[in-house]
Every structure is written in structure tokens, then in C-alpha cells.
Structure 1
Amino acid sequence: MAPIVELSNVHKRFGDHIAVENVSMQVEPGQVYGFLGPNGAGKTTSIRIMLGIIDPDRGTRQILGAQSALSVSHRVGYLPEERGLYKNMSAQNVIAYLGQLKGMDGVSAKRRAGELLERYGLADAAKKRVKQLSKGMAQKVQVLSTMVHDPDLLVLDEPFSGLDPVNQQVLEDLLADMKQAGKTIIFSTHVMQHAERLCDRIGLVAHGRDVFNGTVGEAKRLLAPRILLRTKDDIVALHELEAVRGVTRISEENGVMEWEIVTQGRVSTEELVGRCMEHRIEIAHFSMIEPSLHEVFVHLVGGEKAVDGQNVSKERGDAK
């Protein structure tokens, strides 16, 4: 089956600034694809190239089997990064109107708009003008307007931006519903937690270039897990293991010490436990902690980066 979306080595320059350099993407039918990267990484430019809003300087694109998104626009729902709704229209009418622009008849569009508002907790806002809605409610209305015409492909640029945690969960539920219905979803974000929970595959860009393409699991395997041990004994013997990069005692209470072990490769549980038994180290607790997608991002981008309001430093040992 042909990919729903395929970008191949697209490049875009604005004056002296290279916004996108040889970015590629392949999204299969029914997938949720996260397009990840820090602000200014080239995500929005790549999406606009994909949708035919701007043309690449070089490279190729196809979407839903067409070279131009304009010819299949009725099958695409697009939420731009810069939001905009008709402020004097009611929530239901603005969703219905945008559905009509995608080819729906008026009666069907208004009925569908009402159903969506009720399903996602906005029934009381149906008759309110957009300018009377909170920022979060207006953003939910905009998201619903992208799916009112039942598109095969949803493309959402930073859909979680500006939403409080409750509404972020509502949007995650909405995307899960769309996936369950067999839709293909592409969304960009710089918040790794959403991608970690939702995505089948991810593409990570930085400074306009591809850094990683693959599954979330494949991304996490780029870093070794951290290991937590609790013992009554010193674990100096574990320092000698070739795969162990660093050992840190992080707490001690009632004679029990908690240790964090950072490895530079995948050390086996059997090897660690065997070494402890060999040196008569009594283990009170043992666990492996898989790296988060946030940690993988910092590792791939390099240096100390602020992502989703957090600073993660090289010095931690789980990123380099």
C-alpha cells in the first residue's frame, strides 16, 4: 500500500536562512506520526511544503497519491499553527461553515458540528459566539473544524499549544478516536510526552535537518536504561563492569542505600545480579528505568537544551 504522505529530501531557503534541508518523511495509512523538534526547527515549513502552501526549492512530495495537496484538499483536515476563527459566528456555525468549504451540504455540516461539540464536552458552547469562548474552548472548536468533514488525513501543527492539562487530555482522546476510526494523523509538537503516548512513528528535526525517523521504541533504544539498586552494602564491585559508566549514591535511609547506575551499553540483569551475588551484595530492590523520549531528544539534539520547560544537562549521564 502506498504511503499517505511522502516527503523526499525537501529543501527550502528564505533569503540567507535555510529553513529546511533535506527533510524526508513517510507516513503509512492509519498511522499517528509525530513530527518533533524544538521551536524554529523547520516543522511548520515542512508541513506547509507537504500541503502545497509553499513549494520546496528542491525535493519531492506526494500526499494521498497526488503531487499537489490542492487536488485532494477535501480529504485533508489541517490545523495551522496560527489559529483563526470568525469571532462573531457561533461555535456550531463556524464549524459547519468550514465543513461546507470542504464540500459538505449545509444541513449535514450543521448536524455533524453539533454532534462533535456534544461528544467533546462543548454542547453548552454551541450557540455562543467564538469571541465569548475561552482560549482553550476556541482551540477545541478549531480542532473540531478540521475533522468535521471526516477527512482521511489530519495534519495538526502544534495542536496542544495553549491548552490546559484537562483539554490536552481531551485532545489526546480525540486523536485516539480518529486513529480508531482508521484515520491517518500527523501532528507537530515540541512536547515529547504527547508523542510518547500517541505516536506509532516519529520524525525528529533540529536546525531544519532530519535527526531521527522511526518508532518510539527504536528511539528509546538509542539510550541505555538507568538502573536503580537499593542495598545495605557498598557496590564498588559494580564499577568494574565494562558496561557501567557511572554509579551514584542518591540516598541513604535506615542503613539502606539507593544507587543509580548509568551504563554505556545494555548490561544484562543476569550480569548485574550475578556480580552482586559474587561479592555478597544483598539487593533490597532492583529496577531498570527506560529513557523517556524527552531524554532521547536531548541526547540527539546535543548540549543542554530547554524542552517543555525543563533543563536536562549532559552531566546527568543519560544524555551526551
Structure 2
Amino acid sequence: MTEERLDIDRLSKSYGDVVALREMTFDVRAGELFGFVGSNGAGKTTTMRIILGVLSHDAGEVRWGGTRLTQEIRRTIGYMPEERGLYPRMKVGEQLTYLARLHGMSPGAARASVAAWTERLGVAGRVDDEVQKLSLGNQQRVQLAAALVHDPRILVLDEPFSGLDPVAVDVMSTVLREKAAEGIPVIFSSHQLDLVERLCDRVGIVRSGQMVAVGPVDELRSTGPTRLAIEAPAATAGWTDALTGVRVIAQDGAQTVLELAEGVDDQTVLRAALATGPVHAFGERKPSLTDLFRDVVSQEVHP
């Protein structure tokens, strides 16, 4: 039996001389939360629009369960665009029912689904209001309801947490975990990297239209040079200057974060720290997803 997996295989897209995607390749597995991160203009939204069939591509392929995406398969995708994609003067309940019907649901099933999702997302009391009369946060909740109302088999969400308050972020996070637990592959982009790190099973980092790092967060954090966090209250500025292959990453009061070149013995660093006086803390510090992101996007791209 073929696994229900979304494969993005060597997608390329150009606008004249501007290259938007360079053989973009990754997959999103059944029951997985996949974080898609990168700077503005890196190619995240272009990739999502190609998955949806909104944009054409110059080369490559998108497959679901080993089969190239057809219009029928795309009807089963729940999509949440970064920009609001709702009719501003249409009432919330009418709009969600209309969208559910467009995806093939019966009138009764559509109404029941709208009632369930608006209740779940905290906007049940606004179903008779026009979308334009809602706060930006509530519009975002309705936008998510629009992506979920037709019981999708795949979720593609572009910046779903944008503009949400902490309570709404928790609700959204819980919903996405539940959909993944049902076996649905969920891909979402976000600039809130701490949230991505906490929520996702795997993360892909995009730079200039290319996937440059992909894997579980813990695995990605284990790559790259060794970093040490040292707390030495008596150390003065420049205490590491005599150490070869050691670079200061951050200095905050008594704490110093160092990056060690390959082959540097951390015990040499410890001896240098002890030479300044007492050392209250000394240990390896794995980079956060934010650290990884900064390192990756600052590197040069070679076409």
C-alpha cells in the first residue's frame, strides 16, 4: 500500500530572469507537522501555490501517495493563504457553508461542519456577521475554519498564526496536532520560529528558492560547529583572544557563548575559563531553530 505522502520533487519556477524556485524538493508524511521556514521571498508561498495548482511550474512534480496531483486530489486540500482570501461583505456562516459545498459536501453536512468548526475556533457567535466587521484575529480564525470545513486530507497553511493572540495560538496549535494525529500531513509556514520548534515533527529551511536544510529539529540542532555556554563571573573582555579556533557568539554579563572550530578541545577552553577565576557553568549549547535559521540564510547560494 502506497503511503499517503505529499512529495514536492525538484520544483523550479522563474519569472523572466528572476528564479523563484530552484529544484525545491521535500516531502510531508502522513500524520506529520512540517514547518516550512525562510525569509520573505525565499519561495515558500510560491511552492504552496504550485501545490494548490494556483501557479504553474517550469519543471518538477507534486505527488500525493505516489500519484501526480490532479484537480480531484486538490479538492481534498485545505488551504489557508497568507493574505485573507474571504469575501469581506459575506456573512461568516454563509461563506463557510458555500465553501464546504464547493468541495462537494451536502447542505446538511456543510451546515453541521460549519457549526462545529466555528464553535471550536471561538467564532460561533459571529456567524451572522460580515467578515469585514471582524477583528484581524477573528478573520484568521474564520480563514482556518475555511481550510478545515470540508474535512481535508492534506493541510497547506501559509502563516496561519499571523495576528493571533496567545489564546488563539494555543487553539490553533491544538487543532493542527489533532489533524496530524488523524493521519493528515500538515505543512505550514511561519516566522514564529519558537512556535515551529515546539510544534513541528520536521522543519525545512528555504533560502533563495532552495531547500537547504530539512529534518527533525533536534537532528538539525545537532549539526554544525560545537557551541559552549560558560558562566565565569570574574572573566574580563577578551579572555578568549589567545584561544585558536574559538569565536565569541554572545556575551551577556558573566555568560559567554563560544563557537569552536572543528578539532578544538573544549577542555582547553575550560582551562582558560578557570584561569580567570571560578566557573559556575560550562557545557555544550545546542543552537535554537532561530540560530540555525540565521546561520543558514546568511550563507551564500550557488546556483
Q: Which amino acid aligns with 2:178?
A: D
Identical counterparts, % of pairs: 33
**Aligned CA distance change for structure 1 residues 181 and 193 (closer, same or farther; 3 Å):** same
**Aligned CA distance change for structure 1 residues 152 and 260 (closer, same or farther; 3 Å):** same
Q: Which runs of 5+ in 1 are unaligned?
A: 252-256, 304-320
Q: Quote the residue 1:120 is aligned against.
A: 121
1:46 CA drift (Å)? 1.3
Q: 2: CA distance between counterparts of 1:142 and 1:162?
A: 12
Q: Which amino acid aligns with 2:17?
A: D
Q: Which amino acid aligns with 1:174?
A: V
1:169 CA drift (Å)? 3.2
1:189 CA drift (Å)? 2.4
Q: 2: CA distance between counterparts of 1:266 and 1:148?
A: 55
SS of the equivalent of 2:142 reads: helix
1:41 CA drift (Å)? 0.9
Q: 1: CA distance between counterparts of 2:162 and 2:250?
A: 37
More moved, 279-288 vs 27-36: 279-288
Q: 2: CA distance between counterparts of 1:118 and 1:192?
A: 28
Structure 1 segment 1-320 matched on structure 2, within 5 A: 1-2=2-3, 4-223=5-224, 224-232=226-234, 244-246=246-248, 250-251=252-253, 257-265=254-262, 271=267, 275=271, 282-286=278-282, 288-302=284-298
Judge conservation of contact 2:157–2:187 (CA < 8 Å) in 1.
yes
1:82 CA drift (Å)? 2.7
**Aligned CA distance change for structure 1 residues 194 and 236 (closer, same or farther; 3 Å):** closer
Q: 2: CA distance between counterparts of 1:286 and 1:96?
A: 58
TM-score using structure 2 length = 0.84
Judge conservation of contact 2:6–2:185 (CA < 8 Å) in 1.
no
1:287 CA drift (Å)? 5.0
More moved, 278-287 vs 191-200: 278-287
Q: Which runs of 5+ in 2 are unaligned?
A: none
Query: Residues 142-169 of structure 1: CA distance to partner in whole angstroms, max 9, x if unpaired?
Result: 1111111221210011222333444333
Q: Which amino acid aligns with 1:88?
A: R
Q: 2: CA distance between counterparts of 1:236 and 1:209?
A: 39
1:282 CA drift (Å)? 3.5
Judge conservation of contact 1:39–1:190 (CA < 8 Å) in 2.
no
Greater RCO, 1 or 2 (C-alpha within 8 Å, sep 6+): 2
